[in-house]
Structure 1
Amino acid sequence: MAILSRFCMLSALAGLASAWLAGDNKEITSKDNKNLFSSVNNKVRGVNLGSQFIFEPWLGESAWSDMGCSGRASEFDCVSSMGQKAANESFAKHWGSWITQDDISEMVSYGLNTIRVPVGYWLREDLVDSSEHFPQGGLEYVQKLCGWASDAGLYIIMDLHGAPEAQTPNNAFTGQNNPNPGFYQEDQYERALKFLEWMAEMIHRQDEFRNVGMLEVLNEPMQDNDKASSMRENYYPKAFERIRAVETKLSVDKKDYLHIQMMDKLWGSGDPTEHLDDQYYAAYDDHRYYKWDKSVETTHDNYISTSCKDKRDSNSPTIVGEWSLAVPKSMDKASDWQPNSSNADFYRKWFAAQVHSYEQGQGWVFWTWKSQLNDYRWSYQDAVKAGVIPKDFNSLEDVCG
């Protein structure tokens, strides 16, 4: 959307933490020796920490207003308006309260075993130039949160969600509301690559990050052919080279390398492996939002049957890193689609159908853990409380036969 215990099968590298694909290459245990993957066939079952380190105003308008950012489209715009010092203080309060250690404990109590942590390149503050405006001081809170998650035995996917100059237009998830995304050029690739090197070294050196086994090099790039082609040819291969160079420098055993994650072919930015000479520990991210899929007939029965047959296997291993229970805007307010108790049975079955399909691959990470929308279709925490998502996955209804 964050020291110290050791895991079974840790490498013998003094002072270095290990990385792995959870439950597959290596098991993990919590500080109190619980293995959250032991009973789920090594599938990822997780949540995104949306709006924790990159705030998306639509998810929490009240919190955004309380931060002094009301009416601002993105973090960049808010910091520009507030000034650096005031913004740093305001964002620090948010980072310390949006996701807490109690939230981490609650996730574990619901049977979840993974978190995906969206961050922006500005977390490494020396990459931010004088014309850019982002909150400062976030690294301390990322370390703390990852420490809590590691103690709890959660697997962590670190996700470069906001790239330099933005990778997609007019979207707050990039941290800036840029109408002309400028990421797709050499100088911006270089800034992102420096971020990845820095993050990879911290992951291997700092114990708080010991459960980070996957580093996603870019969230939701554009599907524009020229820009996507440049990214595949230039950025992806260099991301592999630079991350592996860090691991070589640190003498990390190859079995403890980070998994390097890219969006899969189904996302629409082409085949991410096209120019990769080395695909060792490559991993893939698929995002599945029925809300924006106009090809699926919007009926309860069809949503369930389509989800049961959904094939998300354009690359492997794939994690469906974002999905929700949200529906198209045209149906959003209809009585038989509203997120209330009357429709809970449908949403419960649809959740089970999507889980069925996504666990044919490596698993899933729901978007997102919490919101202020009063809508359980976007909030895992609210959906559990509404009885739409079970606390015990063994009680999931077999809707796919």
Structure 2
Amino acid sequence: MRRILAGLVLSSTLVARAWAGQPAHIHGVNLGSWLVLEPWMLPQEWSDMGGQECEVCSTCIASESSFAKAYPDTVDTTFAQHWDTWFTQDDVNTLKAAGINTVRIPLGYWIVEALVDRPNESYPRGGLNYLRRGLSWLQDAGIQVILDHHALPGVQMPGQMFTGDCTTDVQFYTPYNYRRALVWTAVMTVFSHLDPVFGNVFAIEAVNDPITDATNTPDYGTFQKNFVQITRAIELTLGISVPSSNLSVSVSPSVSNNFTAALIATSSATGISTEVQAALLEAVPILREIGAASGLQTTLEASPFKQSGPPLVANFMDVNYQHNNPSNPADVAIGPQAYDNHVSYSHGGIADPDPTSYMSSICNFKRLQADAAVGNSPLWFGEWELATQFDATDEFLCKWADAQKLAYSKSAGWIYWNFKIEISNRTDGNALARQWSYLEGLKLGFLTQDPAALHDPNVCVSYMNKTTDDTSS
């Protein structure tokens, strides 16, 4: 979280461009704690599974990695039960009825099991089957999907449950783990185009919540470039038209019925970096293995693979998420690209902890304009919630919901964190869900049945220009 410099002022009615496959305006939720489990969101279930709670999450069984190491013989079965129950067909039906048109699915790198460096790394296995099932449900409901690389190989942020491993030993920003992340990207890109159940995926997010100080993320800009390049190289191999592509990919007739063979040939195409070449080659046997297990072997190796659909949207956290001279992901764009920002007032650093400061801050919110000034547009707000640093009344939470939706709706849209939160004795009933669960907020009337609607369209009028301090996430 940080503040951005004032002075980057553009029109407050910026029009967000919607790429092919992307909803004209995103009204979404995150499927958090499904395929990347965060124990704080479901403490009773976590305890029942065999997990622990501790003040410093690295000191007990408080992450997927520590759980897998503690229970190597039962972890897969235990997590299968969680995956089977945390997100269900009933949830999809409820989200559709609530007008949700988009979900962001947080994923760990370990969902591509071949990327896990066992025995040094331990994570539950089998999640990809549940992802495919969930995507099928969402597709049937007409809900679009962003695949979010939420937990990166080597861990991208210290001491966080959402990385899958609560450790202070951050190793993502290294050549080895950048390459593993590129292989993950290759696998997700291929299946987003060739696996029918991925047909509603319109974007892949490169990295969720990197370290905010860019001096601690060496070569992150190069990784961003390679992320775009590997996505577009695969799409060009598939015959998908990529606007403004400076890559040259030509598929020989001899491999026109064997996609993995064509991908091997693409790895030596003009303009592809050595890192992307290596990642493409490493992805091929993984694709073959997953394809055989998923009934897609013929699709990958024995049938024409030319596609005519749109390219995926390459999604990055916006440049203003970091400080200390960060690389600008807009500089590496090839084809459609969009940007993500996360806003959490409850974490501090944005506004003083009182209702008036919160309202003055959000009603004069300038992140959209600041990002557009440096090419980070279209922008959506991929994580936000109603949580506060003070004891908020129901009346305030209605205003707080309206004001945030009003601010974020000037962008390409918003995605609430989270779709649901456990309600149990461990969470004081609905005390936690009241401010973090979209479905509970909807039930309590803080959020509107029509996600595009507001209780009070004039909620910000009395707060406009009450502060000269620019705000950001």
The residue number in structure 2 matching 1:65 is: 47
Verify the 8 A CA contact 1:262 1:272 in the aligned structure 2.
no
Pick from 378, 384, 388 the counterpart of residue 323 of structure 1. 384
Q: Following the alignment from structure 2 to structure 1, what is the Cα–Cα distance between the partners of residues 365 and 17? A: 24
Task: Flag the 1:181–1:369 CA change in 2: closer, same or farther, 3 A.
Answer: same
Alignment of 1:98-137 (within 5 A): 98-130=86-118, 131-137=120-126
For the residue of structure 2 that corresponds to 1:96, the secondary structure is helix
Contact 2:17 2:378 in 1 (8 A): no
Query: Which residue, 404, 409, 414 being the options, matches 1:359?
Result: 409
Give the aligned CA root-mean-square deviation in angstroms.
1.9
Compare CA radii of gyration and give the structure with the larger one: 2
1:265 maps onto 2:323 in alignment: no
What whole-Å deviation, never above 9, does each CA across 1:125-177 have from its counterpart, x for those lacking one?
11111211000000000011111111111110100001011000011101111
Aligned positions, number: 355
- Relative distance call for 1:295 and 1:92 in structure 2 (3 A) is closer
Shift of 1:391: 1.1
Q: In structure 2, do the counterparts of structure 1 residues 175 and 183 end up closer, same or farther at CA, with 3 Å as the change threshold?
A: same
Residues 256/218 of structure 1: CA separation in 2 closer, same or farther (3 Å cut): same
Kindly tell me: are residues 81 and 27 of structure 1, through their superposed partners in 2, closer, same or farther at Cα, counting changes over 3 Å?
closer
TM-score (normalised: structure 1): 0.84
TM-superposed CA distance for 1:385, in Å, is 1.2
> Of the candidates 38, 57, 65, which is equivalent to residue 56 of structure 1?
38
Which of 216, 225, 228 aligns to 2:205? It is 216
1:226 CA drift (Å)? 2.6
| C-alpha distance 160-210 of structure 1, shift in aligned 2 (>3 A) | same
> Corresponding residue for 1:392?
450
Q: What SS does the aligned partner of 2:388 have?
A: coil
TM-score, normalized by length of structure 2? Answer: 0.72
* Structure 2 residues not aligned, in runs of 5+: 1-15, 54-60, 243-308, 462-473
In the alignment, what sits opposite 1:192? 181
Q: Hey, what's the Cα distance between the residues in 2 that align with 1:279 and 1:347?
A: 41
* Alignment of structure 1 residues 1-400 onto 2, 5 Å: 24-26=18-20, 42-71=24-53, 72-83=61-72, 85-130=73-118, 131-232=120-221, 234-254=222-242, 256-268=310-322, 271-273=326-328, 276-313=331-368, 314=371, 315-328=376-389, 331=390, 334=391, 337=392, 343-372=393-422, 373=427, 374=430, 375=432, 376-393=434-451, 394-398=453-457, 399-400=459-460
**Displacement after TM superposition at 1:400 (Å):** 2.4
Indicate how the Cα distance of structure 1 residues 261 and 27 shifts in structure 2: closer, same or farther if over 3 A, else same: closer
Call closer, same or farther: CA 1:26–1:239 in 2, change over 3 Å. Answer: closer
Say which SS state the counterpart of residue 276 (structure 1) adopts: helix
**CA–CA separation in structure 2 for the residues paired with 1:392 and 1:150:** 21
Does the residue aligned with 2:436 lie in a helix, a strand or coil?
Answer: coil
Report the 3-state secondary structure (helix = DSSP H, G, I; strand = E; otherwise coil) of the residue aligned with 2:78: helix
Ranges of 4+ aligned residues in structure 1 off by more than 4 Å:
269-272
How far residue 65 of structure 1 moved from its aligned partner, in angstroms, is: 1.5
1:124 to 1:166, Cα distance in 2 relative to 1, 3 A: same
Deviation (angstroms), 1:311: 1.9
SS state of the match for residue 204, structure 1? Answer: helix
| CA distance 1:125–1:295, change in 2 (3 Å) | closer
